[in-house]
């Protein structure tokens, strides 16, 4: 019997040209590209198991995916070999061996997403693929007050997108921080896991609160799941980036 090895990849990509991470029938995905290049590199079919999914247009700096192979190469060879074959908008940042029972999704203990706003009366051609352009100023005090309310365990049923198949809508959010980097405002969200479109709906709702289109009282009802309508608006996909996935027991600060 041939020896096999489980390899974990840390992957960065710009999601602009893809229908998302997962293989889909309606277009090209990041997973499809990586699996094709792995087959080219290793001479055998490979199936990637990832830490989760990202939607069309969403970016990643820290997507994690594992695969099993009988081609036992130095870790550097997996990384550099793939990066020679991959398009410029996808790169493998790291390759490392993991034990046989490791699961990229079920063993994850937390994720960090960043949503980026570009606040300026003038549009930016350079920032357009990675941020949501807002021409008006936002009430930071209202925004921070609402952001703090997200922290903790809540029923996020109002913050899930259509088609979400999660068995439960209760999630534990560790922190929601606003990081000023003018003209950018980053919304850093860290938690155990997220529903479909949840972070984008959180970001969109924070913007609505900051524009006084959603009151703090209405926000509280949304967070308790006692409001008739969904949260929103859902922020555009291109402002979102998966920054990191954790695989230990610590809660990120």
- Active-site residues, by number, are 55
Partnered with residue 20 across adjacent β-strands are 55
Distance of CA 90 to the CA centre of its chain: 15
DSSP code of residue 55: B
DSSP label at residue 12: E
Distance CA 47, CA 25 (A): 17
Taking Cα atoms as reference points, which of 109, 46, 49, 105 lies closest to residue 73?
A: 46
CA angle 121, 125, 130 (to 5 degrees): 95
Interhelix angle for 198-210 vs 140-150, to 10°? 150
Strand partners, 133: 118
The three-state secondary structure class of 163 is coil
Q: Which candidate, 197, 187, 152, places its Cα nearest to that of 170? A: 152
């Amino acid at each position: 019997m041939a020896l096999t090895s489980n390899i974990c990849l840390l992957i960065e990509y710009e999601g602009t040209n893809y229908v998302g991470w997962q293989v889909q029938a309606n277009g090209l995905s990041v997973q499809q590209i990586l699996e094709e290049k792995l087959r080219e590199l290793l001479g055998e079919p490979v199936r990637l198991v990832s830490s989760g999914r990202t939607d069309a247009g969403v970016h990643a700096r820290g997507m994690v995916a594992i695969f099993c192979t009988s081609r036992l190469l130095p870790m550097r060879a997996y990384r550099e070999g793939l990066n020679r074959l991959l398009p410029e908008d996808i790169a493998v940042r790291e390759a490392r061996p993991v034990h046989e029972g490791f699961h990229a999704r079920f063993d994850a203990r937390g994720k960090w997403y960043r949503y980026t706003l570009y606040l300026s009366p003038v549009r930016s051609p350079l920032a357009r693929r990675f941020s949501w352009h807002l021409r008006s100023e936002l009430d930071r005090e209202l925004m921070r007050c609402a952001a703090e309310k997200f922290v903790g365990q809540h029923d996020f049923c109002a913050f899930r997108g259509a088609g979400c198949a999660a068995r439960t809508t209760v999630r534990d959010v560790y922190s929601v921080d606003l990081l000023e980097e003018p003209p950018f405002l980053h919304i850093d969200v860290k938690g155990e896991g997220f529903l479909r479109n949840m972070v984008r709906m959180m970001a969109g709702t924070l913007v609505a609160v900051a524009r006084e289109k959603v009151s703090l009282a209405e926000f509280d009802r949304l967070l308790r799941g006692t409001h008739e309508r969904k949260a929103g608006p859902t922020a555009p996909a291109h402002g979102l980036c998966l920054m990191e996935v954790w695989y230990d027991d610590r809660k990120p600060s």
